[in-house]
A and B are shown apart, each in its own frame.
Chain A
Amino acid sequence: MPPGPASGLAPSVGLPLRFVATGFAAWLVGVVLLVVRPDMLATYHYNQYVVAATHLWVLGFLSSVVMGAMYQLVPVALEVRLHSERLAKWQFVFHLAGWVGMVAMFWRWDLKQVGHFGSAFAVGVGLFVYNLGRTLRRVPRWNVVAAGVASALAWLSLTVVVGLIVVTGKCTYDSVERLTTANPLRGMLAALAALATWVNQFDPLGVMHAHAHLGVVGFFVMMIVAVSYKLLPMFLLSEVQSERRAAWSVRLLNAGLAGVFLALAWRRTWQPVAALVLIAGLGLYFAEVRAILRARRRRVIDWGLRHHLTAQGLLGLVAVLGLVLGWPGLRVTMFTAQLETVYGWLGIAGVVSFTVLGFLYKIVPFLVWYHSYSRAVGRARVPTLADLYSERLQVAGYWSYLAGLLAAAAGAAAGYARWRGRGR
């Protein structure tokens, strides 16, 4: 890049922090909900409470934090100014109203209202994707980080579209007949009714699983892979060791996920082939992370990074479990049905949440320090980053979260019937 005049590229810290604070609030509610209703994990996951809790965790906690972090990280990582901070603030309004309404309406199983709040959420996602998309267009040198972020944005858009289509299929459209032909709503409702008829030809479980994979693998895992290629070298004082290997990891993840999505939605027996392509992409990612680690100049691996690396171990485990559960001819039993819940739990509360927590340990103290103390440097005594957090609490949090995660997974695998003595 040619040398140029320096300027501030990152948005104001208040923007990412409002998303992160919202995410923490949702996470707290999610954890309390799990404590109050642990039976949710011990039932088959296709019910209103699990769907509501999953959207609370995924939209309220994870997507809030990840979207806020993206507004901060993308300009810094790719050395480009955020297209519009104002649009990001508007997204926050739609995002908050959207996910809170969706979770509440899923809990009541009022899918018409889920559709309305989901549409508000989709407007927010549209603003997010447009804003970061315009930002990416300014990137002076396209690289694997930009390609991964662009892929994640595309998968996020598709996740939301598929989610809205799924909800469309679960609503009724009797009111079409009562509207006059001059009413413009009649045309819209008739189109939604036709869309519902089309989507209802599909197996609802398959479409729901396809939607979930788009969101979790396409948006979250892809975003984690992309930003890892920037953040891990930054935190470890290292470099990406093979741009080619990193680029292929993103390509294979994209190809594998496209195949998994189609195979799940259309119930195709070649699903394991697509899953293996996806796993090959993850394998290249793991190999690159290992190479980055080996080349690091900072020997100490702090607890934030340990969270991230532990999550990668879980990712390998979850990927193999997903491959087994998608194997054609696998006999479906209560045990394998509960393993699907374990798969989702370890993927969402394990892989993605653990990574997000690890990165937050790195990002939030810096943002708070920068917001509160950076202007005083050289003029007054300022605290160090280490003064802002407690490593002992990080260690305690790491072990207690990991123990709780695995204990809940074991409980979910055991299943509700056995617990209550109703089953074998």
Chain B
Amino acid sequence: MSDEFVEVDARGLEPPQPMVRILEALTVLPTGAILRARTDRRPLHLYPLIEERGWVAESQPEADGSFVTFIRHA
């Protein structure tokens, strides 16, 4: 697994903008890199779209109530 992370901060955006930002970032993500996306909520609607495109995602809650989601190739 690569240690290279690409950050996307989608906090403060109204749905579906966080989803759009993250999916667009995935299209240009370098091979082997991991997308680290920050969102205000757990991105429930994003998960099926990510899985459909052959990625896996794992979300972790942060102390401030926001979420960090790590997305990598399946």
Q: Interface residues, chain A, CB within 8 Å of chain B?
A: 1, 3-10, 75-76, 79, 234-235, 237, 239, 297-298, 366, 369-370, 374-375, 377-379, 382, 385
Q: How far is the CB of B14 from chain A (nearest CB, A)?
A: 7
Do residues B51 and A374 form an inter-chain contact, with CB atoms below 8 A? no
Question: Can you sample 24 A-B contacts with CB below 8 Å?
Answer: A3-B58, A5-B56, A6-B51, A6-B57, A6-B58, A7-B48, A8-B45, A9-B44, A9-B47, A10-B44, A76-B45, A79-B42, A79-B44, A234-B40, A239-B65, A366-B15, A370-B45, A374-B19, A377-B19, A377-B23, A377-B24, A378-B23, A378-B24, A382-B20
- B16: chain A residues at CB < 8 Å are 366, 369-370, 374, 385
A9 to B41, CA, bound (A): 14
Q: Taking each of B12, B14, B15, B26, which has the highest tally of chain A beta carbons within 10 Å of its own beta carbon?
A: B14
Q: Which residues of the partner chain B approach A234 to less than 8 Å between Cβ atoms? A: 40-41
State whether the Cβ of B32 lies closer than 8 Å to any Cβ in chain A: no
The 10 closest A-B pairs by CB, nearest first: A8-B48, A6-B47, A6-B57, A378-B27, A3-B60, A377-B23, A378-B23, A378-B24, A9-B44, A8-B47
The residues of A that contact B44 with a CB separation of less than 8 Å are 8-10, 75-76, 79
Tier of interface size on chain B: 20 to 34
A420 to B48, CA, bound (A): 61
Shortest CB distance A143–B (Å): 13
**How many Å from the CB of A116 to the closest CB on chain B?**
40
Report the separation of the CA atoms of residues A5 and B47 in the bound assembly, to the nearest whole angstrom: 9
Interface positions, chain B 1-54, Cβ under 8 Å from A, are 12, 14-16, 19-20, 23-24, 26-27, 40-42, 44-52
Cα–Cα distance between A379 and B44 once the two chains are bound (Å): 21
Q: Nearest-CB distance from B31 to chain A (Å)?
A: 16
The CA-CA distance from A9 to B65 in the complex, in Å, is: 20
- How far, in Å, is B20 (CB) from chain A's closest CB? 5
The answer to whether B51 and A8 touch across the interface, beta carbons within 8 angstroms, is yes
Chain B nearest CB: distance from A101 CB in Å?
A: 36
Compute how far the CA of A298 lies from the CA of B65 in the bound complex, rounded to whole angstroms: 16
Contacts of B42 in A (CB 8 A): 79
With a cutoff of 8 Å between Cβ atoms, the chain B residues found around residue A75 in the complex are 44
CA gap between A359 and B56 in the complex, in Å? 32
- Interchain CB contact under 8 A, A7 and B47: yes
Q: Taking CB as reference atom, which chain B residue is nearest A230?
A: B41
A7-B47, A8-B44 known; A237-B59 Cβ under 8 A: no
CB-CB < 8 A to A369: which residues of B? 16
Residues of chain B lying within 8 A (CB to CB) of residue A378: 23-24, 26-27
The answer on a CB contact under 8 Å between B50 and A375 is no
Most buried by B among A6, A9, A366: A6
Assuming the contacts A3-B59, A6-B57, asked whether A374 and B14 have C-beta atoms less than 8 A apart, the reply is: no
Which A residues touch B14, using CB under 8 A?
235, 298, 385
Once bound together, how far apart are the Cα atoms of A22 and B62, in whole Å? 40
Which A residues lie within 8 Å of B24 (CB)? 377-378
Residues from chain A with Cβ under 8 Å of B49 in the complex: 374-375, 377
B-chain residues with CB within 8 Å of residue A1 when the two chains form the complex: 61
